[in-house]
């Protein structure tokens, strides 16, 4: 199996990654992700979750979260191309994502937070994505603004960091 340093080294040298046959991306990684999503969905249904938005609302919420995740992957691709060590990239990602995650409305209602933290939660892109996904799944009708802000944030992040990551990838050395 390819180690993180081998993968990072091959990205740096711009040579193709040599994946072992038993670990090809198309045959293992995508189905494994799909299976975990299916398992999570089935577990939620078994525990009594019945989203009011039905299957279309759930699929729209998943698509929105995936779009935001893809936008963030452009950020981390650019960071990875700047850093010499994969462990440093993971450390930076944790330092950035942990405060963004916990200072959002994902875990706690903003009304229970101090005023200064509520102000940050209101501009946190993760809060907008979480609100939009909840609105889509619960069919609350208020998803329009939150979905628009989430898509705008995803678009801006992608427009800034995708070209930057490509530029960093193409630079010599």
Highest mean pLDDT range out of 13-22, 52-61, 102-111, 158-167? 158-167
Q: Residue 21: its pLDDT value, please?
A: 47
Percent of residues, the chain, with pLDDT higher than 90: 50
Given the structure tokens 């698509």, which residue do they identify? 63
* Domain with 128 in it: 53-170
Same domain for 3 and 74, yes or no, is: no
Average pLDDT estimate for 115-119 = 93
φ, ψ of residue 65 in degrees (nearest 5): -65, -40
The predicted pLDDT at position 143 comes to 62
| 97/63 same-domain check | yes
pLDDT value of residue 28: 55
Q: How many domains does the chain have?
A: 2
Token output for 166: 């490509």
The DSSP letter of residue 26 is: I
My answer on whether 5 and 84 are in the same domain is: no
- Distance between CA 96 and CA 27 in Å, rounded? 32
Residues 80 and 161 in one domain: yes
- Tell me, yes or no, whether 42 and 61 share the same domain: no
pLDDT, average across residues 96-116: 92
Same-domain pairing of 149 and 78: yes
Specify whether 24 is located in the same domain as 58: no
Asked whether residue 44 falls in the same domain as residue 59, the answer is no
Average pLDDT, the chain: 82
pLDDT value at 168 more than 60: yes
Whether 100 and 83 map to the same domain: the answer is yes
Token pair 């193409």 in the structure block, residue: 170
Residue 46 has pLDDT above 70, yes or no: yes
25 and 81 within one domain: no
Q: Which residue has the higher pLDDT, 23 or 42?
A: 42
Residues 64 and 115 in one domain: yes
Q: State if pTM tops 0.85.
A: no
**In this predicted structure, what is the pLDDT of residue 42?**
87
- Same domain for 160 and 77, yes or no, is yes
Tell me the C-alpha distance between 146 and 132, whole Å: 5
What's the half-sphere exposure (Cβ side, CA atoms, 13 Å) at 123?
4
CA angle 124, 80, 123 (to 5 degrees): 5
- Among residues 9, 25, 49, the one where a domain terminates is 49
Terminus-to-terminus CA distance in the chain, angstroms? 26
Residue 44, pLDDT > 90, answer no
């Amino acid at each position: 199996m390819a180690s993180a340093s081998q993968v990072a080294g091959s990205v740096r040298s711009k040579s193709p990654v040599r994946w072992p046959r038993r670990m090809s991306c198309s045959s293992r990684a995508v189905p494994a992700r799909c299976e975990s999503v299916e398992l999570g969905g089935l577990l939620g249904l078994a525990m009594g979750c019945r989203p009011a938005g039905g299957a279309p609302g759930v699929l729209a919420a998943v698509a929105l979260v995936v779009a935001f995740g893809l936008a963030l992957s452009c950020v981390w691709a650019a960071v990875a191309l700047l850093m010499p060590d994969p462990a440093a990239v993971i450390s930076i990602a944790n330092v950035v994502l942990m405060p963004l995650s916990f200072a959002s409305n994902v875990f706690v209602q903003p009304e229970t937070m101090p005023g200064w933290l509520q102000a940050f939660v209101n501009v946190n892109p993760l809060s907008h994505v979480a609100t939009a996904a909840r609105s889509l799944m619960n069919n609350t009708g208020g998803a329009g603004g939150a979905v628009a802000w989430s898509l705008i944030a995803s678009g801006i992040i992608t427009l800034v960091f995708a070209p930057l990551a490509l530029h960093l990838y193409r630079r010599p050395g």
